[in-house]
Amino acid sequence: MKKGIFLGDARQIAAVYSDDVREALQNACDLPDTVFTKETVLAAPAHFADTAYLFSTWGMPVFTEAELAACFPQLRAVFYAAGTVQAFARPFLARGVQVCSAWAANAVPVAEYTVAQIVLANKGFYQNQRIYQRGEAARAAAHFRSHSGNFGVKTGLIGVGMIGAMVAQRLQDMRTEVLAFDPFLSAERATQLRVRRVDLQTLFSECTVVSNHLANNAQTRGMLTYALFRRLPPYATFLNTGRGAQVNEQDLARFLSERSDCTAVLDVTTEEPLPEGHPFYALENCFLTTHIAGSAGREVWRMAEYMLEEFRRVEAGEAAHFAVTPKMLETMA
C-alpha cells in the first residue's frame, strides 16, 4: 500500500474532504489523518521520502523543484481538490509528477451561478431591485420593461473552456443564441456546443449579456476596454465570474458612469477586496460580490469526490480524467 499525505491548510482540508472521502482514502492508501505543512515537510524531509501521493485543496503550498527532489523523491501524483493549479503545478510537472485538479467539479457551481445571473440580468433584476428599494416603483418598473427577457436573446461568452461550455449547454434550453469569443475554440467544437464564433467587437455589439470566462495570463490582462464596453446595446449587462485582471477597471467604471442603463455584475475584481475609494463602490449600476461563484458549503465535497476517483484510477494504472498538462496551464484560469 503506497503512502499518501494531506498537505496544506488543515481548516481547508477539513472543509473540503468529507468524512466519507477521508475514510475511503485512509482505507485505500497509507494516509495519516494529520495535515502536514510545508514547514513540517522541510524540517524533516526524510520522513516523507516514501510519499507517493499528496492530497490538498486551497492553501496548497508552493515548492521548488529542488525542494521536491529533497522531500518527495518517490512522489507519483498530486490530487488537488480545488480549481486552478497555476500557483504551484509547474515544479511538480517538471519533475514528472502527475497533477490532478478538481477544476471540472468546481466548474459546475460556477456555471450554475453564471446561468442564474444571466437569467436575472435579462429581466433587469439588479437595478430594478435597487431602484424599487429606494421607493421609486414607477422607475423600477420602467427599467424592467426595457429588458428583453431570456427567450430568443443573444448571450456572449468570452472563453469557452469547461465553465463556458457548461453555460452554453444550459442556455440552449432557454432558446438563447450563444455567441462565443475564444481563440482556442475550433469550428468543430463550436458546432458541437451550438455556439457562433465571433470577434469581441461583434460579441459586445449584439449581446444583452456578456459573460467573461477567460484564463488569467499575460495575453488576456486588461483586454476588456472602454472601446468594447461602449459597444454594448441598451440595458445590457457585463458579468464577470472569471478573473478580474482581464478588465480594464477604470474603463469599465467610465462606461458605467456614462451609461446608467447598463449594468455590471462582478464576482471577481483585479484586487480582492477592492481598495477603499474604488470607483465601483460609488456606481449604482455596479453590483459586487465577494468571489462567491465557485464551490460553497457542501458543494466543495464534490471536488474531493472527484479527486478520490482520480486517485483510484491512478492507483489502478488507468488514465486520469483530470490531469493537468503544461500546455493546459497556458489557457487554464
201 and 213 belong to one structural domain: yes
217 and 84 belong to one structural domain: no
- 215 within 8 A of 333, measured Cβ to Cβ: yes
Q: Where are the alpha helices (DSSP H) in the chain?
A: 10-16, 19-28, 38-43, 65-71, 89-94, 103-121, 125-133, 137-145, 162-172, 187-193, 200-206, 226-229, 249-258, 279-282, 299-315, 326-329
91 and 134 belong to one structural domain: no
111 and 242 belong to one structural domain: yes
What is the grid cell recorded at 30? 497509507
13 and 73 belong to one structural domain: yes
Instruction: Determine the structural domain holding residue 41 and report its residue range.
Output: 3-105+297-329
CA dihedral in degrees (246, 249, 254, 256; nearest 10)?
80
What is the grid cell recorded at 102? 478538481
What is residue 99's three-state secondary structure?
strand
51 and 169 belong to one structural domain: no
Q: What is the pLDDT of residue 241?
A: 96
312 and 280 belong to one structural domain: no
What is residue 193's three-state secondary structure?
helix
Q: What is the pLDDT of residue 333?
A: 67
Q: What is the pLDDT of residue 1?
A: 60
128 and 38 belong to one structural domain: no
Q: What is the pLDDT of residue 114?
A: 98
What is the grid cell recorded at 172? 440552449
**Residues counted in the chain:** 333
Enumerate the β-bridge partners of residue 211: 157, 239
If the chain, 333 residues long, is cut into consecutive pieces of 10 residues, what is the mean pLDDT of each piece?
91 96 94 95 96 97 98 98 93 97 91 98 97 96 95 96 94 93 95 97 98 88 97 98 95 98 97 96 98 91 96 96 90 69
Q: How many CA atoms lie within 13 A of 268 on its CB side?
A: 22
- 307 within 8 A of 323, measured Cβ to Cβ: no
* Alpha-carbon Rg for the chain in angstroms: 22
CATH of the domain at 93: 3.40.50.720
